Each structure stands twice: as C-alpha cells, then as structure tokens.
Amino acid sequence: MRELVLDTETTGFEPAEGHRIVEIGMVELVNLMPTGRTFHQYINPERDMPKEAFEVHGLGDEFLRDKPVFAEIVDAFLEFLGDARLVIHNATFDMKFINAELEWVRRPVLPFERAFDTLTLARKKFPGSPASLDALCRRFAIDNSARTKHGALLDSEILAEVYLELLGGQQPDFALSTVPLGQGARAGQDAPLPRREIPLPPKLTEAERAAHAAFVASLGENTIWRKYRGA
C-alpha cells in the first residue's frame, strides 16, 4: 500500500478569506516503510504574509517572492500524489487548502476519504491527552529538536514516525524479504505484515507490575484475571 504523509504551511486559517498554501511537503511510505522519496515545494501565495503566520513557519514575502505559484507546480504535485492514501495530522485543515488551490486552477478536488487523520486516531487512543505533533513526539520519544519552526517537509518526516507509533510501532521486514511486493496476496489486497522476531521491550515498570499484582490479589480467588493468567 502506497501512502503519502503530507503537511502544508499557509498564510492563515481559511482559504475562503483569501489565505493560500506557501509550502507542501510529502513523504512516501510503501507498506509502512519510508522509501526515501519525498516531494517538497515552496509556493508564492501571490499575497502578503501576515505576521502571525510568519511567526509560525518563518516564510516571509521576500523569500517567497521568486517561488512558483501553485498553477506552476500543480502537475508535479498531482503526478507525485498518484492514487496514494494521504496521512495528515488534522486532515480537515490541509485538505480544505489543497482543494481550494485545486479549484482555483480548475482541477478536480480530492475526496476527503483519501485522507487518514492521525489527529483523530491520537485522540481516540489517548482521550483527554494532548494530541499535537509535539505532544506525540514527547509521548513516543521521537526527536523533534530540529523543529524550531513549522516546516512542511520536516513535519511530514516527523509525522511519519508518529504515524507508525500510533499503529502500534509495527514495522515491516525492512525490504529484506525475497518476495516481491504484490506477491503472496490476492490482487487489491495488502500482504500481511510479518511479526517481529524480537518483541519490543515492555513499557510497564516494575512498580506498575507490582501494583497490578496487588490489585489482582485483592479481587479474590475467582477473579477472571486469575483464570486468564492460569490459562
């Protein structure tokens, strides 16, 4: 399965208010493995950069003045996009900007169903906890020290790591398999991911293990936990 982890930087929050995309970054994954292929483009928004947006990403009018406009890069963008699924953190934001830009150059918009929202997944997995990209990096011990400002390609690379952790830290076989992609499964289906030969170390501390054991002991002899452990 081909996926593209995508991020954009913009001049503001609403394309309906005249705000535009100024940077697009994408990282390609095939069967959950980074391929090394990326797409990165700065874009001239054909308008001024608000101070609030500049403070987020640091992309100013002078830097963007000689960059191509969206109409000049749309073909390269769509070619790289292909039919891949998009992985986006807060997909509603990026998709509305991408589709606005496509509409302005009279190209078909992308169906929202093509986007997988990692923000929604993070909120489901960790209800009540912060779900920003920085917060998830802290949770999964992912190094984001280079992220002094937002940047579309850097954020896509970081999000790719976060995405894999949100899926349970699963990794395929690092392309060491001798079976070509697409074999071993029926057409239109993804091949099953192999299990890790060496399981990941548990994150449960000894103190937590002891507290759980004490709790189970307090439930009595007929608790389902005792039956489960005996099985």
Distance, CA of 170 to CA of 214 (rounded, Å)? 32
Distance, CA of 87 to CA of 110 (rounded, Å)? 13
Catalytic residue among 19, 57, 89, 150: 150
Distance, CA of 30 to CA of 192 (rounded, Å)? 13
Structure tokens at 66: 């000689």
Torsion sign, CA atoms 160, 165, 170, 173: positive
| DSSP single-letter state for residue 169 | S
Contact 101/19 with Cβ under 8 angstroms? no
Judging by beta carbons within 10 Å of its beta carbon (0-12, 13-18, 19+), is residue 214 exposed, middle or buried?
A: exposed
Name the one residue in this structure whose structure tokens are 């308008």: 47
150 is catalytic: yes
| Residue 160 half-sphere exposure toward CB, CA atoms < 13 A | 25
Distance, CA of 175 to CA of 173 (rounded, Å)? 5
Residues known to be catalytic: 150
